[in-house]
Amino acid sequence: MNKDLPSFCGQPLKATQLDLIRDCVSSYPGLSREELAATLCEWMAWCRPNGRLKTRECRDLLQQLQSQGLISLPALRAGRPRGTTTTIAHTTQEESRAPAQETLAALQPIRLRRVEQPDEGRQWRELIDRYHYLGYRTAFGASVRYLIETPHRQPAVLGCLQFSSAAWRMKARDHWIGWDEDGRQANLPRLINNSRFLLLPWVQIPNLASHVLSLALRTVTQDWENQYGLRPWLVETLVDIQHYSGHCYRAANWLDVGLTTGRGRQDRDHLRHGASPKRILLYPLRADARHMLCKKS
């Protein structure tokens, strides 16, 4: 252990944790300091007793590591004052509509529009907040968002997608990959998480969900590399078995590798084992994904 390493909340920082911090900073150069801190707290389960992340303490740690010359952080960005939250306005434009039952062929060509402009972001947040069962939450770490569109309806938006940073540890996923700690630490940035998928409740089109998922995997691979300089090799998603079957993922050839423990990503003390298990589904983006993910260099 390097005796010069600082402490985090009274606990000495481990060399392996410093390596993970360095990997995160170098792998995601586009993230702000706040986003880096949130991602690291997620990965290392740095949480308060109420489950909230210790992002403020982590930001202080990152600043200290930079002052010691151990990492190089991105420049500070101008933004909202600390402690403010995103307000999601609900407009009449995005209110529910009568069900539309059409064929998939009638809606082609379906496309994914990358959310980049402020008005696109507003629309995406409102739709997710109103119609996704989890509502809107800021994604941890890196993320890419899409609006699902067709040129043959007015309004043209059929739903929303989001891909974001993968979970730090999931037993069934890690077993399928064949990961040890070194492999996970070296290659976690090569995983991405399909953290939101929404088809609007009035869109009732057979086979649309699996078609969109197949289209999304072709699209996000290049978009993620363009945005973050790293090409993903594996996609994961978690399906809440109390709400959904995950049939559309299986129809799009995703692999079912088992269930989470049900604790949730922030249950560090294992107090909620089995409370809300999720089904883990994976999609390799290259034929040798498992082999590549286990390489140490």
Q: What is the mean pLDDT of the chain?
A: 84
The pTM (predicted TM-score) of the whole model is: 0.72
Q: Where are the domains of the chain?
A: 7-67, 94-293
Q: How confident is the model at residue 44 (pLDDT cuts 50, 70, 90)?
A: confident
pLDDT tens string 126-136: 999 999 988 88
Q: Write down the residue that tokens 């402009």 correspond to.
A: 117
Q: Which residues of 244-253 are buried (b: 16+ CB within 10 A; e: fewer)?
A: eebebbeebe
C-alpha closest to that of 134 among 8, 280, 289, 278: 278
Look up residue 228 and give its two tokens: 């973050």
Cβ–Cβ < 8 Å for 289, 233: yes
CATH number of 94-293: 3.40.630.30
pLDDT tens string 61-72: 999 999 889 999
The Cα-based distances of 202 to 20, 76, 96, 125, 254 in angstroms read: 44, 43, 7, 18, 26
How many residues can be counted in the chain?
A: 297
Alpha carbons 279 and 258: distance in angstroms, whole number: 6
pLDDT tens string 211-254: 999 999 999 999 999 988 889 999 999 999 888 888 999 999 99
Residues whose CB is less than 8 angstroms from the CB of residue 154 and which lie 6 or more positions away in sequence, other chains included: none
Alpha carbons 284 and 295: distance in angstroms, whole number: 16
Cβ–Cβ < 8 Å for 110, 150: yes
Residues whose CB is less than 8 angstroms from the CB of residue 123 and which lie 6 or more positions away in sequence, other chains included: 94, 147, 157
Q: Higher confidence at residue 222 or residue 28?
A: 222
For residues 181-199, average pLDDT: 90
C-alpha closest to that of 191 among 144, 249, 233: 233
Q: Which residues of 152-168 are buried (b: 16+ CB within 10 A; e: fewer)?
A: eeeeebbbbbbbbbbbb
Provide the pairing of β-strand 11-12 with 7-8.
Answer: antiparallel
pLDDT tens string 45-66: 888 776 778 888 898 899 999 9
The confidence score (pLDDT) of residue 89 equals 66
Sheet holding 143-149, edge to edge: 111-114, 143-149, 157-165, 191-199, 234-240, 278-284, 255-259
For the chain, state the CA radius of gyration.
Answer: 20
